[in-house]
Amino acid sequence: MPTSAASAKTGADGVFTSQLAVLAGEIEALLDRLLRPPPDSEIQPPARLLEAMRYAALGGGKRLRPFLLVETARLFDVGPAAALPAAAAIECIHTYSLIHDDLPAMDNDALRRGRPTLHMAFDEATAILAGDALLTLAFDLLARVETHPDAAVRVRLIAELGCAAGAAGMVGGQLLDLAAEGRFATAPRPGEADIARIDSLKTGALLRAACRMGAIIGNAPPDAGTAIDRYASALGQAFQIADDLLDAEGDPATVGKATGKDAAAGKATLVTLLGPQGARARLAALTAEAEAALAGFGDAASSLRAAAHFIAARRA
């Protein structure tokens, strides 16, 4: 969708871009508060560990998962303030996953968001531990009463995130992704169904969890939950295709990380499988599917619709 880039700052897209920036600022401020030495505690985290966690977590980023969580909760008349702690928790999970994925033993990336990755800026041991600490912090946050007054809602949030982030979700997806690069010397070259499964776990699971956690906080009725699931599933697939297109065609200076990696690794993606034109057509169909899933919500869902367009058109 090359035309969307040009219009990204006007009309509905312009409204979306500023909404996203406002929420990103709120998440940044909350993470900044959460990642300070506790003022009234005898037990302090090591300064170096906290610095490393701050380097990774406060390094900008679009804060797309928090946005999806907050905007889904808003569909059910829950304001952003009530959804922010859970949104910060899912961003902690996303941040930890980037730290660990960038490690030399994994994707071996030196650049992330235009800056050295955490293990380059600090060292590998600190990066592993900062990732572990952020992963742990996510669940610590969700257990706190500030996240939601009702403990039953908090455990539903924890169960949702635990499931999406674990072996049958994001972590499993990262392992399958490494396998698809031939890393374990056992896997056959993946076909389209395999790639869809990898993408669904690796990036889809957490994007879906963001929406589902918003629905949990909003106490969404079952039929609304089904519509949200359909939206999130299409969005997750679209996100991964856009990501693969960026890797295939993006400029590292704009994208903020190395590109051309899939081709260099001889890795099959939907872009290599369908070709860039075919991938763009699939992306457009998924965006339409995401929009259609939101039909029942009317104007209240305009920011979630704009998020789908933003994902399809993103250049970084």
- 124 or 249: CB nearest its own copies: 124
CA distance linking residue 59 with residue 48, whole number of Å: 16
Residue 31 or 274 with smaller CB distance to its own copies: 31
Q: How far apart are CA 8 and CA 18, in angstroms?
A: 11
Spatial contact of 164 and 208, defined as CB atoms under 8 Å apart: yes
Q: How far is the CB of 139 from its own copies (least distance, A)?
A: 4
CB of 21 to its own copies, least distance (A): 29
Q: Which stretch binds its own copies (CB under 8 A): 7-15, 71-79, 163-171, 240-248?
A: 163-171
144 belongs to the binding site for its own copies (CB under 8 A): yes
Q: Which parts of 128-184 are beta strand (E)?
A: none
Stretch 255-294 residues interacting with its own copies (CB under 8 A): none
Residue 232, interface with its own copies (CB under 8 A)?
no
Name the amino acid, one letter, at 201: L
Cα dihedral 146, 150, 151, 157 sign: negative
58 binds its own copies (CB under 8 A): no
With contacts defined by CB under 8 A, how many residues of the chain interact with its own copies?
57
d(CA 89, CA 93): 7
Site string for its own copies, 197-216 (x = CB under 8 A): ----x---------------
* Rounded Cα–Cα distance for residues 130 and 52 (Å): 6
Among 183, 226, 254, 264, binds its own copies (CB under 8 A): 183
Nearest to 92 by CA among 136, 33, 155, 154: 136
Task: Give the 3-state secondary structure of residue 300.
Answer: helix
Sole binder of its own copies in the list 40, 41, 223, 298 (CB under 8 A): 41
Query: CA 119 to CA 110: how far, in whole Å?
Result: 8
Q: Is 44 in the site for its own copies (CB under 8 A)?
A: yes
Check: CB of residue 142 under 8 Å from CB of residue 76: no
User: What does the binding site for its own copies look like in residue numbers (CB under 8 A)?
Assistant: 38, 41, 43-46, 48-50, 53, 96, 100, 103, 105-106, 123-126, 128-129, 131-133, 135-137, 139-140, 142-144, 151-152, 154-156, 158-159, 162-163, 165-169, 171-172, 174-176, 178-179, 183-184, 186, 201
